[in-house]
Amino acid sequence: MKIYLFIFVLYGAFELTPGLPDVVHIGGIFGPDDYDLELAFRYAVDRINMDRNLFPRGRLNPLIEKVSPSDSFQTAKRVCNMTEQGVAAIFGPSSRLTSSIVQSTCDTLEIPHLETRWDPKPHHRSCLLNLHPYPQSYSRALKDLLKAMQWKSFTIIYENNEGLVRLQEVLKAHGPSEYPITVRQLGEGHDHRPLLKQIQASSESHILLDCSVDKIAEILRQAKEDLHTVDVEEFRFGRTNITGFRMVDPQSTSLQNAVHDWQYEEVRFGRRINISPNTVRTETALMHDAVHLFARALVEMDRSHPINTSHLSCDAAEKWEHGYKLINYMKFMDRPGLTGHIRFDVYGKRVDFPLDIIELDRDGFVKTGFWDYRSGINYTRTETEKLTIISESLQNKTFIVSSRLGAPYLMEREPKGTFTGNDRYEGYSMDLIDEVSKILGFKYVFELVPDGRYGSLDPKTKKWDGLVKQLLEKKADLAICDLTITYSREQAVDFTMPFMNLGISILYSKPVKQPPNLFSFLSPLSVDVWIYMATAYLGVSVVLFVLARLTPYEWNNPHPCNPDPEELETQFNLLNCMWFAIGSLMQQGCDFLPKAVSTRMVAGMWWFFTLIMISSYTANLAAFLTVERMDVTIESAEDLAKQTKIKYGAVEGGSTAGFFKDSNFSTYQRMWSFMESARPPVFAKANSEGVERVSKGKRGYAFLMESTSIEYVVEKQCDLTQVGGLLDSKGYGIALPLNSPYRTAVSGAVLKLQEGGKLHMLKTKWWKEKQGGGLCKEEKSSSVESANELGLANVGGVFVVLISGMGAAAVVAVLEFLWNTKKVAVEDRTTFKAALQEELRFVLKCHGSTKPIQKAGAKEDSGGKSGGTGRGNSQGPYDKYGVVNKSSKSIVIPQAEYLNKK
Ligand code: GLU
């Protein structure tokens, strides 16, 4: 068993490098400054030579040539020297000019040529293998990154035409319907400030920078592929977010080991180039990978096809027989390197390669994800990690908070002009930001937005104004006020979770209190009903009168003791009918009642009618007298839309105006066209202006306003009120620039405040406690109490009616008295004056309930017994029943007639 194993090991060793010569020459051509490339090349060769597993016998021998990047002639000569010595491959150079000479020589002699340089226009050469990512694939990675970062508009800064090749996928992916992108070229020289200023003036905050590494430090210290080599110390705590790609991970053990050896090599060669994992260029790492790839392929191929090198002259037509095959072996190798997995397509392009996504944070650049050809962008940081990093980064930041004046969100502190900095202002917004800053640990400076507007998009210029503009121009990090979260604003900026919920409603003046009406007891029924009732009363009286005449059962014997009366009488003469009807209507009744079915039916119906009418009247009277009547003319937005007398408007450029403008609902559309066409204009610059207009408008102007602001106003201005409910439902949020990394953190803080009841406390503080809030609540409660008591003003009319009734009765009594006196004077054959004196004397005596009949001529009348109806009233108006008697108004018919009738 041991013997077999030994044989196998021997055989294996023999099989690994069966035909390779002891020394395999490989060429390296470098520019005079490419020390790091040379170092990597040498170190890789040393490593391979030391790896006896890989290379058990023989060794690689590096032939290094230094050539000037522009000297093609020298390069050609050096390459030919190398080929004459018999090289198995040539690595480098990194200059485009000299590289093409090497390419063509290698192609002619069929010697593998390995490159590590960025080649914007790669030509297909059968013996060439470039380990640098293929430009189009790199361009695709950039495109994927922009898509993942959701950049809509951005500016591309490129240095030269090579950069445009890198960016071609990005440019191609941007359709004509999308936001415009700007492409600018870096100027000559070192001063790029004019260009950067122009970009800043265009309020662009997203920049894609494509330039050489040494320029990045000058231009915002941004970078792409080699971002990790830039000294970014001065940007760590700034307001710039830098994202980039890298092929080499400075944290990887393989790179750190490699760099450690390079540093050793540096000492050995006596040159110091200060190489460290963070300063390794991609090209250097690629050179390391290229040599290892070559060595692996060489060993692999040698297993099946023994290889030996040939001394080839550039002038002869001879080629290296193994060249093509070796290149093909390299193409199909799939192995890890310092620059990720090395894979090629059939044309030798490095298409499928991994890239790390790196972002700048407090600790420098950190890996946040990776890109690969197949799956695109993959972020590897968890949400919690992201949040922690963001929270940490917030500690040293000072945010510029843009806001606008508007009570109670932000107000100038009194006395004005005596405070500086944040102390100049106070209000809900200030308190809220203060609470958020305490949670997240940032500092803040409040600044007022210059135009004082919320933020609306001009459809013509496509430009934003107000707070949104401040954020877009990067003049502010946060924007807060009563800023509504709307769809269009959400396209331009980011919003946190809403800190307040609201809807649009109507602010209007309260109805002016009507002075109590003397005749308010008439109010429960309308004038029409009063007239109808009077008519009904008369009608029923007449019907009763007619029916009573028709029916025989209402005709009675006036002298029940006389079984054979000559006359029959009825009580239902017209006056009695009216008395009966009014008695019922007043719920009092009277002392005679109908007997016949027909008249009883009339009476029943009338009683029913009066029952309902009187109960309705009583119920309504209670409501009318206790509840303050409001002269409400509008109760909803529909009511407003229906009329044109009361004007209405909203804040110009605000979300309320936007709601009506963009609404599909016909009522709101009508309201919008009314508002737009109204002259003088109905729009207000701010809520305060609209409120003033309502309060001075004498119910001629209503203001469409957000419910939270209405709540605040009606707490202090008791003449104003909210009319109707909410037309929509939305919220106020804190705005941040688009894709702001702080959104989640600030949102989280807002939620925390909400859950802890802090937001509610702040609202109570600024709405109800400060600035005269709660004033109108007291007024409301006291007015409710007084509503239950009725003053003379409410019921005075009833007294008036009573007094007038009394007066009228007195007048009638006087007339009756005078009429009777006149009759007495005639009967007594005395003068009217004497009779009047006599009668008055009796009246003024004021005692005695009997009245003597003095005149012999006077007819006997039962009326005399009635106690003071009238002296000598032989034809007194009332019979024994107290009913108007036959001689005056009662109706008597002869019995014959009565019998005939029967
Ligand atoms: N809150 C509104 C906005 O953000 C302004 C006031 C309004 O339109 O009623 O635009």
* pLDDT tens digits, 741-770: 888 889 999 999 999 999 999 999 999 888
Which pLDDT band, with edges at 50, 70 and 90, does 854 fall under?
low
Q: What is the pLDDT of residues 10-37, one digit of tens each?
A: 333 333 445 678 899 999 999 988 888 9
H or E segment to which residue 687 belongs? helix 687-696
In this prediction, residue 786 carries a pLDDT of 46
Both 188 and 237 in one domain: the answer is yes
Residue 266 inside a domain? The answer is no
Digit-coded pLDDT (tens) for 226-253: 444 544 444 444 556 788 888 998 889 9
710: Cβ below 6 Å to ligand 1?
A: no
Is the residue at 400 inside a domain?
yes
**Which H helix or E strand runs over 732?**
strand 730-732
Which ligand 1 atom sits nearest the alpha carbon of residue 483? 4
Query: What per-residue confidence (pLDDT) applies to 677?
Result: 93
Per-residue confidence (pLDDT) for residue 877, from 0 to 100: 43
In the sheet that 493-495 helps form, which strands lie side by side, from edge to edge?
A: 443-448, 398-403, 478-479, 735-737, 493-495
Q: Where are the alpha helices (H) located in 305-411, listed in sequence order?
A: 323-331, 383-394
Q: Which of 655, 688, 730, 734 has most ligand 1 atoms within 8 Å of its beta carbon, as the pocket-test mutant?
A: 655
Instruction: Tokens for 446, please give them.
Output: 């409040």
Tell me the average pLDDT across 673-678: 94
Radius of gyration of the chain (CA): 54
Least confident of 199-203, 368-372, 708-712: 199-203
**Residues 360, 477: one domain?**
no
Q: How far is the CA of 552 from the centre of ligand 1 (A)?
A: 83
Residue among 247, 256, 299 nearest 55 (CA): 299
Q: Is the CB of residue 650 below 6 angstroms from any atom belonging to ligand 1?
A: yes
Q: Which two tokens stand for residue 786?
A: 């007084």
Cα–Cα distance measured from residue 878 to residue 465, given in angstroms and rounded to the nearest whole number: 94
Q: What is the pLDDT of residue 307?
A: 85
Query: Is residue 336 predicted with pLDDT exceeding 50?
Result: yes
Cα separation, 288 vs 41, whole angstroms: 6
The average pLDDT across 556-585 equals 89
Give yes or no for residue 500 having a pLDDT over 80: yes
Question: Residue 85 sits in which domain range?
Answer: 2-133+279-350
Tell me the per-residue pLDDT of 110-126, one tens digit each, with 9 for 90 and over: 999 999 998 888 877 88
Q: For a pLDDT cut of 90, what percent of the chain falls above it?
A: 39
Rounded mean pLDDT, 452-478: 92
Among 122-126, 263-267, 408-412, 665-669, the minimum mean pLDDT is found in: 263-267
Predicted confidence at residue 18, as pLDDT, reads 53
Contact by Cβ (8 Å): 861, 848: no
Measured in degrees and rounded to the nearest 5, phi and psi for residue 261 equal: -70, -35
**What confidence category does residue 525 fall into, taking pLDDT thresholds of 50, 70 and 90?**
confident
Separation of CA 705 and ligand 1 centre (Å): 8
Confidence of residue 842 (pLDDT cuts 50, 70, 90): confident
Check whether residue 223 and residue 370 sit in a common domain.
Answer: yes
Does residue 705 have its Cβ closer than 6 Å to ligand 1?
Answer: yes
CATH classification at residue 667 = 3.40.190.10
Q: 654 CA to middle of ligand 1, Å?
A: 4
CB-ligand 1 contact for 484 (6 Å cutoff):
yes
User: Exposed, middle or buried by CB within 10 Å (0-12, 13-18, 19+), for 133?
Assistant: buried
H and E: helices and strands count for the chain:
29, 31
How high is the pLDDT of residue 445?
95
- Highest mean pLDDT pick, 9-13, 177-181, 494-498: 494-498
Place of tokens 């909410």: 726
Q: How far is the CA of 806 from the centre of ligand 1 (A)?
A: 65
User: Are both 224 and 360 inside the same structural domain?
Assistant: yes
Q: Is the CB–ligand 1 distance for residue 505 below 6 Å?
A: no
User: Ligand 1 centre and the CA of 398: distance in Å?
Assistant: 27
Q: Which of 405, 502, 656, 682 to mutate to test the pocket of ligand 1 (most atoms within 8 A of CB)?
A: 656
Distance 732 CA to ligand 1 centre (A): 9
Q: Which CATH number is 64's domain given?
A: 3.40.50.2300
Pick from 488, 506, 651, 689 the residue to mutate for probing ligand 1's pocket: most ligand atoms within 8 Å of its CB.
651
Structural domain includes residue 26: yes
Question: In ligand 1, which atom is closest to the CA atom of 482?
Answer: 1
Residue 886 predicted with pLDDT over 80: no
pLDDT of residue 851: 65
Position 225 confidence tier, pLDDT thresholds 50, 70, 90: very low
Residues 806 and 693 in one domain: no
Q: How far apart are CA 241 and CA 736, in angstroms?
A: 14
Task: Specify the range with the lowest mean pLDDT, choosing from 14-18, 481-485, 548-552.
Answer: 14-18
Q: Is residue 536 part of a domain?
A: yes
Residue 772 included in any domain: no
Task: Check residue 569 and give its pLDDT.
Answer: 87
Segment 530-537 mean pLDDT: 92
DSSP 515: P
480 lines ligand 1 (CB under 6 A): no
- Rounded to the nearest whole angstrom, what is the distance from the C-alpha of residue 482 to the centroid of ligand 1? 7
**C-alpha torsion 738→742→745→746, nearest 10:** -70
Q: Out of 166-180, 258-272, 553-567, 683-697, which region has the weakest mean confidence (pLDDT)?
A: 258-272
Q: What average pLDDT does the segment 340-360 reach?
A: 88
* Structure confidence at residue 356 (pLDDT): 92
Q: Is the pLDDT of residue 220 over 80?
A: no
Nearest residue CA, atom 10 of ligand 1? 654
- Judge if 837 and 896 occupy the same domain: yes
Q: Provide the terminal-to-terminal Cα distance of the chain, rounded to the nearest Å.
A: 155
Q: Is 481 in the pocket of ligand 1 (CB under 6 A)?
A: no
The pLDDT assigned to 628 comes to 53
For residue 659, the ligand 1 atom closest to its alpha carbon is 8
Ligand 1 pocket residue status of 653, Cβ below 6 Å: no
pLDDT band at 489 (very low <50, low <70, confident <90, very high): very high
Instruction: Give the long-range contacts of residues 850-856, CB within 8 A, separation 24 or more.
Output: 854/828, 855/824, 855/827, 855/828
Distance 436 CA to ligand 1 centre (A): 23
| pLDDT the model gives residue 83 | 93
As a whole number of angstroms, the distance between CA 714 and CA 531 comes to 43
Does 648 share its domain with 608?
no
* pLDDT confidence bin for 474, thresholds 50/70/90: confident
How remote is the CA of residue 511 from the centroid of ligand 1, in Å? 27
Our answer on whether the CB atom of 567 is closer than 6 Å to any ligand 1 atom is: no
More confident residue, 773 or 583: 583
Reply yes or no on whether the pLDDT at 457 is more than 70: yes
Nearest-atom number in ligand 1 for the CA of 456 is 10
DSSP string, 153-175: S-EEEESSHHHHHHHHHHHHH--
What is the per-residue pLDDT for 606? 92
Q: Which atom of ligand 1 is nearest to the CA of 504?
A: 9
Quote the CA–CA distance of 635 and 631 in Å, as a whole number.
Answer: 11
Write out pLDDT tens, residues 269-326: 666 667 888 888 899 999 999 999 999 999 889 888 888 888 999 988 789 999 999 9
Which of 336-345, 620-629, 888-897 bottoms out in mean pLDDT, i.e. has the lowest? Answer: 888-897
* Ligand 1 proximity of 483 Cβ (cutoff 6 Å): yes
770: CA distance to ligand 1 center in Å? 22
Residue 431: predicted pLDDT: 96
Confidence of residue 665 (pLDDT cuts 50, 70, 90): very high
From the CB of 456, is ligand 1 less than 6 Å away?
Answer: no
Task: Give the C-alpha separation, 747 to 755, whole Å.
Answer: 12
655 C-beta closer than 6 A to ligand 1: yes
Distance 744 CA to ligand 1 centre (A): 24
Q: What is the mean pLDDT of residues 629-643?
A: 79
d(C-alpha 256, C-alpha 288), whole Å: 13
Q: Are residues 525 and 440 in the same domain?
A: no
Q: Does residue 366 sit in the same domain as residue 227?
A: yes
Would you say residue 774 lies in a domain? no
What is the pLDDT at residue 305? 83
Q: Same domain for 80 and 122?
A: yes
Dist. CA 229–CA 225, nearest whole Å: 9
Written as six digits, the tokens of 473 are 């121009």
Q: How far, in Å, from the CA of 486 to the mean position of ligand 1?
A: 10
Q: Which atom of ligand 1 is nearest to the CA of 706?
A: 9
Per-residue DSSP letter, 376: E
Q: Is residue 249 within 8 Å of residue 337, measured between CB atoms? A: no
Dist. CA 484 → ligand 1 center (Å): 6
Ligand 1 centroid to Cα of residue 703, in Å, is 12
Domains identified in the chain, total number: 5
Say if 754 falls within a structural domain. Answer: yes
Pocket test for ligand 1, best of 471, 483, 672, 713 (most atoms within 8 A of CB): 483
CB of 250 sitting under 6 A from ligand 1: no
- Average pLDDT for 722-734: 94
Distance 453 CA to ligand 1 centre (A): 9
**Is residue 361 in some structural domain?**
yes
Task: Please provide the average confidence, as pLDDT, over all residues in the chain.
Answer: 82
Residues 228 and 361 in one domain: yes
594 and 640 together in one domain: no
